[in-house]
A and B are shown apart, each in its own frame.
Chain A
Amino acid sequence: MQNIRRVISVIVMNESSVLARVTSLFAGRGYNIDSLTVAPIPGSDLSHITIVTNGSSRVIEQIIKQLHKLIPTLKVIEHEEMVEKEMLMVKFPIGENLSDIQALSSAYNGGIVNVGVDMVIAMVADEPVRIRHFVEAAQRYNPCEIVRGGVVAIER
């Protein structure tokens, strides 16, 4: 069976070891995690976990059911049409062309967010596939460090 990529949102009680329950489920059952982000949902006692995974359709179905089976899981949202965004920060040497970096970053919904003595930090936020393009484009400015934030998604 062909592997498919899926973005799954899991709404869980914001309690201790809930993230461990989710990740050990993936580890124990041999599922893949491509990226994982988690943060509390404002104004509630819940957290929102966004997991990007891949597997056969049977495996994806199992992942969703097994996630749902965890006692602290309130909801598992899986949708082919999710609006996905990923955030990324890059550190460039100060000697690079700052206006080029500014222009490039703003093309990917970002800009320069910090300038120090010997480096400049740019931040962008865009769809995962565009983030990959940005990383490729950024290579010519000799980035010294790249940090990806992982995908967050919301149902359309």
Chain B
Amino acid sequence: MQMSGAQMVCEALIAEGVKTVFGYPGGAIMNVYDEIYKQKSFEHILNRHEQASVHAADGYARSTGKVGVAMVTSGPGFTNAVTGLATAYMDSIPMVVISGQVPLSLIGTDGFQEIDAVGISRPCTKHNYLVKKLEDLPMILKEAFYIARSGRPGPVLVDIPKDITAEIGEFVYPAQINIPTYKPSYKGNDRQIKKAADAIKKAKKPLLYIGGGAVLSDAAPLIRELAEKTQIPAVETLMARGVMGAKNPLLLGMLGMHGNYASNMAMSETDLVISMGARFDDRVTGKLSEFAKYADVIHVDIDPANIGKLVDVDYPIVGDITKVVEKFLVALDGVDPENYRAWREILNRYDNLHPQAYEDSDEVIKPQWVIERIGELMGEEAIITSDVGQHQMWAAQHYPFDRPRQWINSGGLGTMGFGFPAALGAKRGNPDKTVINITGDGSILMNVQELVTASEYKIPVINVILNNHFLGMVRQWQTFFYDKRYSETDLSFQPNFKALAEACGGIGYDVTTKEEFDTAFKDAIEQDKVCFMNVAVNRFENVMPMVPSGGALYNMLLEHKE
């Protein structure tokens, strides 16, 4: 069928089953927007900043497992999208971003709103394309979606010059795809799995170390089955919260810089690390030479480059976690859970010694209390997004995440301003779920314009602002390591958050007591409008425990003494 390049873009999105596109128009992408105007198969959400469009597509992808789609124009439209691409890249989120580009004849001339998008995005995309011929466009779009969701997922950029979207050509969307240079391995080597299973049987203190890959692979039911069958205790990374389920007695908690005592001690004392889709990030390992010092390492990862990158691996297994764990379940037939009883008892003692706890107060709202309270009220029902900082760590520590894809945060890149637009995407992808963005008074302002988007499209997400009038996490480091020189972290000057929400068509609540919180929260979940809950929390609360940067995991600060 004959059609324009712009129509081809829409047809490809429809063929890929895309229901929602987040974006922002501009000169170089106008031809595509003209076709979006004419079609009815998918909706377009106009965010108020391109960064928010990409984060929204990202939140949509994380919460649904589908490929998120964002669309931006050339030049500043694209550069605004870069933070979103990098955020998705670091957390391996499947996403296709389509950007307009100046016409082919102007490329390289420093034309108006021209920037080298493929050059800039090369290090923060899984792959990217500059379309140079209309006839290549259908296959490029097909490949973009395939590459985004297959193997280790990631964002793919397709940069399309304006004259290509205007040109008319023959459109046949390819049914098959064959990229001879790109063949991800999914199966996992049987012999390696057998050897690893034998190592598990021989181990005295094995530990499941579960990362974000388990979420991406939808492996949670099988991983729970594996833990159940073997009675091997588990720790989760920040990205894996929800995989084991908060009520699971085998889950010790989150490990790493703000991990709990039992998790970090388990990793320090284990004799066999069973890593499932984790990548030994520095925020997890602390000092590498002390990390899992007594352990052999089984590393299951779909990306071979992750294996052996930071830690020597004894049993490398390249493959999809779901497929590998299926094989482990067979290979571990006959394993005796009694083997690990003594180990579980040691870890239980550690957990009782220093449980994940905080000192509550009657005078002031503790941020941890807010998280716990939301957990009590919403539990498994809500999707929780977050920004980056103290509130993010408290949410990860204290919310009872019961299922994967319930917890959505920027783990790898640590992008402030991620939570609110990601919540919009998550809500669009899960209209029947309550979506709550747990944020801080610093982060929320980094994409606060999305109040308008949320109001226009009636996307009723709740933003719980844990307001300590500080850039809290940086302030915490300044308290601990910079002799309390609070350089540029005091956020005492603030907008009127309640009025700000209302000015944009939302609802605002000022909360200063627990009772007010309950009343406001119950009201907020009944609303069909976007909400800001401005919760005044204890100013100098610290995220505990803490492994100082570069320190060994077992050297945690458990409490901060003045």
User: Which residue numbers of A lie inside 8 Å of B, CB to CB?
Assistant: 12-13, 16-17, 20-21, 24, 28, 58, 61-62, 65-66, 68-69, 71-74
CA–CA, A65 to B302, complex, Å? Answer: 12
CA–CA, A122 to B166, complex, Å? Answer: 54
User: Which residue numbers of B lie inside 8 Å of A, CB to CB?
Assistant: 118-119, 122-123, 126-127, 130, 132, 147, 179-182, 303-305, 308-309
Hey, which chain B residues are within 8 Å of A71, CB to CB?
A: 126-127, 147, 179, 181-182
Asked whether B181 lies within 8 Å of A13 as measured between CB atoms, the reply is yes
Asked whether B182 lies within 8 Å of A68 as measured between CB atoms, the reply is no
| Chain A min CB distance to B24 (Å) | 26
> A20 touches which one: B119, B127, B132, B305 (CB < 8 A)?
B119
Asked whether B123 lies within 8 Å of A16 as measured between CB atoms, the reply is no
Other 9 A-B pairs with CB < 8 A, given A24-B122, A61-B308, A69-B305? A12-B181, A13-B181, A17-B122, A20-B122, A21-B122, A28-B123, A58-B308, A65-B305, A66-B305
| Chain A min CB distance to B493 (Å) | 38
Hey, which chain A residues are within 8 Å of B130, CB to CB?
A: 16-17
| Chain B min CB distance to A13 (Å) | 6
Hey, which chain A residues are within 8 Å of B179, CB to CB?
A: 71
CA–CA, A68 to B374, complex, Å? Answer: 45
CA–CA, A78 to B393, complex, Å? Answer: 43
> A17 touches which one: B118, B126, B182 (CB < 8 A)?
B118
| Chain B min CB distance to A134 (Å) | 38
Asked whether A74 lies within 8 Å of B181 as measured between CB atoms, the reply is yes
Hey, which chain A residues are within 8 Å of B119, CB to CB?
A: 17, 20
Asked whether A72 lies within 8 Å of B181 as measured between CB atoms, the reply is yes
* Chain B residue at minimum C-beta to C-beta distance from A61: B308
Asked whether A62 lies within 8 Å of B181 as measured between CB atoms, the reply is no
CA–CA, A20 to B128, complex, Å? Answer: 12
Q: What are 28 A-B pairs at a CB distance below 8 A?
A: A12-B181, A13-B181, A16-B130, A16-B132, A17-B118, A17-B122, A20-B119, A20-B122, A24-B122, A28-B123, A58-B308, A58-B309, A61-B308, A62-B305, A62-B309, A65-B304, A65-B305, A68-B304, A68-B305, A69-B303, A69-B305, A71-B126, A71-B127, A71-B181, A71-B182, A72-B181, A74-B180, A74-B181
CA–CA, A21 to B179, complex, Å? Answer: 17
Hey, which chain B residues are within 8 Å of A62, CB to CB?
A: 305, 309
| Chain B min CB distance to A112 (Å) | 41
CA–CA, A17 to B121, complex, Å? Answer: 12
Hey, which chain B residues are within 8 Å of A12, CB to CB?
A: 181
| Chain B min CB distance to A45 (Å) | 10
Hey, which chain B residues are within 8 Å of A21, CB to CB?
A: 122
CA–CA, A74 to B132, complex, Å? Answer: 22
| Chain A min CB distance to B64 (Å) | 25
CA–CA, A124 to B301, complex, Å? Answer: 47
Hey, which chain B residues are within 8 Å of A69, CB to CB?
A: 303-305
| Chain B min CB distance to A46 (Å) | 9
CA–CA, A122 to B180, complex, Å? Answer: 42
CA–CA, A68 to B179, complex, Å? Answer: 14
| Chain B min CB distance to A56 (Å) | 12
CA–CA, A33 to B122, complex, Å? Answer: 19
Hey, which chain A residues are within 8 Å of B127, CB to CB?
A: 71
| Chain A min CB distance to B130 (Å) | 7
By CB atoms of chain A within 10 A, which of B127, B181, B308 has the most?
B181
Hey, which chain B residues are within 8 Å of A61, CB to CB?
A: 308
* Chain A residue at minimum C-beta to C-beta distance from B305: A65
CA–CA, A66 to B122, complex, Å? Answer: 13
* Chain B residue at minimum C-beta to C-beta distance from A75: B181
CA–CA, A66 to B119, complex, Å? Answer: 18
CA–CA, A58 to B119, complex, Å? Answer: 28
| Chain A min CB distance to B280 (Å) | 13
* Chain A residue at minimum C-beta to C-beta distance from B307: A65
Hey, which chain A residues are within 8 Å of B303, CB to CB?
A: 69
Hey, which chain A residues are within 8 Å of B182, CB to CB?
A: 71
By CB atoms of chain B within 10 A, which of A62, A65, A73 has the most?
A65
| Chain B min CB distance to A70 (Å) | 8
Hey, which chain A residues are within 8 Å of B147, CB to CB?
A: 71
CA–CA, A21 to B122, complex, Å? Answer: 7
* Chain A residue at minimum C-beta to C-beta distance from B126: A71
